[in-house]
A and B are shown apart, each in its own frame.
Chain A
Amino acid sequence: MNLTDRAEEALEKLWSELIEQKKGTCDISLLNNNEIVSELESLGYIETKDDQIKLTHKGYEEAKNCVRRHRLAERLMADILDVKGKFVHETGCKFEHLLHKGLDESICTLLGHPKTCPHGSPIPEGDCCKDAKRTPKKLIMPLTELQTDKKAKVSYLQTKDKSALQKIIAVGILPNTEIKLIQKFPSYILQVGKSQLAIDKELASQIYVRVA
């Protein structure tokens, strides 16, 4: 059963208001559209009482998936298709509606089960992410999961923690840099070009690589 694009957007809005900001309920005026409210209500996704909206259990799951698709789409735009700036959000908005059950998992796997969107908001975990924790085989993964003596190319850096990002940039690790992991314990040793770098586990987990 497919929701309208507008209803999906509305669910995403509710997710960030009610779940991520932990408000629990919000005023009906947030959605600013009675048609959508009644559409969501008739599907059993929300309950309204005294002009206050609450997500049902079913609605919670649906909203989580909508948000997940949206943020995965953004990650795909930013990291793989190299879309920049405002376009990340805009293209992501259009693209997300195409990512229905199954397709989102493929993309999530391709991206290495990213934890945040390019703007830093968390991406809700899907079933594939839980599976992936057990089976580490994937295309893009944090450096911490790369095998030693494997060559890889940096895909992207997690940019949420700015001071960590600065340090990684300072040692010269950037997207498309080719690296080889020499050892993992007690510190991570990387071969980058002609030089070798030592970094700790925390920094290594911010670097996402694609096995060459």
Chain B
Amino acid sequence: MQKDYKGPVEYSIEIAAEKIANLLASDYPFSKKAIALLLLQEDEEIKEMVKKSESENIGVIEKIVNEAISHFANPISYELAVQRQAEVNEIINKVVKVKKEKTSFREKLSRLTMNPLTGIPLLLFILYWGLYKFVGDFGAGTVVDFIEGTIFEKHFNPFIEHIFIRIIPWEALQSLFVGEYGLVTLGFRYAVAIILPIVTFFFIAFSIIEDTGYLPRLAMLIDRTFKKIGLSGRAVIPMVLGFGCATMATMVTRTLPTKRERIIATMLLSLAVPCSAQLGLILALLGGRPKTMFIWAGVMGIIFLFVGYLTALMLPGERPSFYMEVPPLRLPNISNIITKTYVRVRWYFREVLPLFLVASFFIWLGQLTHLFDLIVNILRKPVELIGLPAASAKIFIFGFFRRDYGAAGLYDLNKEGLLSGVQLVVACIALTLFLPCIAQLLMNIKERGWKIGLGISVFVLFSSFSVAYIVNLILNKLGVIL
């Protein structure tokens, strides 16, 4: 629809736009009047584009633009928006009748989610049932125990081992598939029996929450807190998604409006946000001991806020602002949830299975050439420094291949009864903070560039051991037994 823009009596945006449109000589993908209007609204991108393509007339065009701007008290974008709004209202008033509605149940519930007095308990309720009970207890506990313990260990593994040992005569090659770090017995088992169920349960929970329209409400609740760490409520979406898969969440930081916010979010996702597989395993590991869980969660919360606060302090830039539409609450739609969960799990699985297999392969190769032992030996010192048994050095190497892989290694270690309560907490803290997995490291570099991506990783590596060291020191000095 064409719209004529009125101006004050003696000046018209319409005429200025027409004059500019007539001066535009090159071809553009959209109408010349649209370009002229964008120039009048001081759109930087279009200004640059026109500067390049209109070398001849640019001087005259700029003169018209500046003259037009000087005629208005407000920016022209504001004047145009006001006029468009007036036009829209005129049309709407002719054709739309608004019925008065009473405050519905849905609206009342919506208010409850947004009022901090009721909203925060509700949030805790959702975290407890959605994350802890559903993903942690049921997904990472019951379901994993069944798939891993019953299906894989009792039936699948012995069967596969039997087959491979029969068809492959060389022991070294046998262990590539079915040894301690075998492609099938380790890589495939971790991916399918441990990680897949946990991630699936997380994505089911996330899709349900997303589909109800709860996330914008969470964003508005948390905005003030996030402002302190240089983010806005908007960042809540990548952050919550980070509890599913930090790699996917790092990609989603693109939706944040400024570079500063994207860097801070990437940093926090790499450091202090455990992904669902890791989280599920940690919840399963610490689940039986509430005190250890409390310490772990407390340390994570403090590190998250403290590092965010420091990063925001160090990075120069505009304070973020928060503005978001709050959609009405809806009952989640089953087919939406199935589709979203399926797409996400598929993305995740395609991403992780090859990496698990590659990791298993490299560990196998490392074992064969004793390179793996060498790295484990190098790591032994820092691991002992934070009070862990030397045997746990290998889980940090696993952790680098996939964060959750490391946690899964810890799971095995704990099953053998090698860790005390304090050691378990310290190991969980170190692993949660530890380097992002390869996939996330690559994503950090891809999204943030070499310098920042690697910088973040070095910082994360350094701080994970330092924090674990300090926590271990404090717990031991206080003589805490967990």
- Chain A residues at the B interface, C-beta cutoff of 8 Å: 74, 78, 83-88, 118-119, 157, 159, 162-172, 174-177, 182-183, 185-187, 189, 195-200, 202-203
Contact = CB atoms under 8 A, between A and B. Distances in A.
Interface residues of B, number: 42
Interface in B318-343: 318-319, 321-328
B47 interface: no
Given A85-B71, A174-B82, A176-B85, A200 B232 contact: yes
B323 A189 contact: no
Given A84-B8, A86-B71, A118-B74, A186 B221 contact: yes
Interface of B: 7-11, 71-75, 77-78, 81-82, 85-86, 89, 110-111, 114-116, 216, 219-224, 227, 232-233, 318-319, 321-328
Contact of A86 (B8, B111, B216): B8
Given A165-B78, A203-B323, A185 B73 contact: no
B78 A198 contact: no
Given A85-B10, A157-B78, A162-B75, A187 B318 contact: no
5 contacts: A87-B10, A159-B75, A169-B81, A187-B220, A200-B233
A200 B321 contact: yes
B10 A170 contact: no
B73 A85 contact: yes
A202 B319 contact: yes
Contact of B9 (A87, A183, A196, A203): A87
Contacts of A202: 319, 321
A88 B322 contact: no
Given A84-B9, A174-B81, 6 more contacts: A88-B73, A163-B321, A186-B220, A186-B223, A196-B328, A200-B223
B219 A198 contact: yes
B7 A175 contact: no
A112 B7 CA distance: 26
A102 B461 CA distance: 67
Question: Which 8 A-B residue pairings sit nearest by Cβ, starting from the closest?
Answer: A84-B8, A118-B73, A198-B220, A85-B71, A200-B322, A187-B220, A85-B8, A196-B326
A118 B73 CA distance: 6
B321 A85 contact: no
A83 B74 CA distance: 12
B306 to A, nearest CB: 21
Contacts of B227: 200
Contacts of B111: 182-183
Contact of B324 (A159, A174, A197): A197
A162 B7 CA distance: 20
A169 B10 CA distance: 26
Given A84-B8, A198-B323, A177 B85 contact: yes
